[in-house]
Structure 1
């Protein structure tokens, strides 16, 4: 695929991501959460930056829609921190997907993140990425069973 085709494909992916995130507002509004057009554009741009920073590529829809669907009911996410939290979760996802050497399914990693974010991390993304996700990835790399008893 030449550079022009790659850029055209990326533009299509961005437009699709914008449509998907706008549609998510219908679901998240009941939790008092909504993304403005500017927020959506920023999140989509952040997605492609995070992919580039982690050396990843996606050919289908990104994980942001799944993250929104799973995390929107968190008691630790409010309108004031919604966009920033989604950005950080997205960046963590891609980073730890690499750290786990793609041995964890997307949905499984997102669910793990949500359980711990709402559980013992009490909404702290720093705690989530610095402890729970590190442990998950380390255990995955070395073939150890993931211990979820302390969720």
Structure 2
């Protein structure tokens, strides 16, 4: 049931952001990135994965695909740890990053 819910949520995120993604690699990497975090509560794990998938596709759009999937997943991991796993804080950090990126204040190679 959990896998089905993650796939369904992923489809919704893709539709929301007008994206096409033919494989589940990003989702698998997001899962691997946060699974062992001390902030991951196994009771709401699926919900967190669904939210982070949404953040991932948001950042892909907002950075105009100029940042690789792995770099975005690393950012999400940093945001997750920095905000103690709180989704609203992760979303705020992602929005700030996107704004800074658009204003050319972010250099991903640093």
Q: When the two structures are superposed, what TM-score results if normalisation uses the length of structure 2?
A: 0.88
The reply to whether residue 122 of structure 1 matches residue 87 of structure 2 is no
In 1, Cα distance between equivalents of 2:40 and 2:18? 29
Distance of aligned partners of 1:60 and 1:79 in 2 relative to their CA distance in 1, 3 Å threshold:
closer
1:2-151 map, 5 Å: 38-119=1-82, 121-130=83-92, 132-146=93-107
In 1, Cα distance between equivalents of 2:80 and 2:102? 22
CA RMSD for the aligned pairs? 1.6
Structure 2 gap segments, 5+ residues each: none
Counterpart contact for 1:50–1:91, Cα < 8 Å: yes
Which secondary structure state, in structure 2, belongs to the residue aligned with residue 80 of structure 1?
Answer: coil
In 2, Cα distance between equivalents of 1:102 and 1:76? 28
Q: When the two structures are superposed, what TM-score results if normalisation uses the length of structure 1?
A: 0.66
* Pairwise CA distance, 1:145: 2.8
The number of residue pairs the alignment matches comes to 108
Deviations 1:14-44 (A, max 9, x none): xxxxxxxxxxxxxxxxxxxxxxxx0101111
Structure 1 gap segments, 5+ residues each: 1-37
In 1, Cα distance between equivalents of 2:34 and 2:107? 22
Higher relative contact order (CA 8 A, sep 6+): 2
In 1, Cα distance between equivalents of 2:24 and 2:2? 18
In 1, Cα distance between equivalents of 2:51 and 2:63? 18
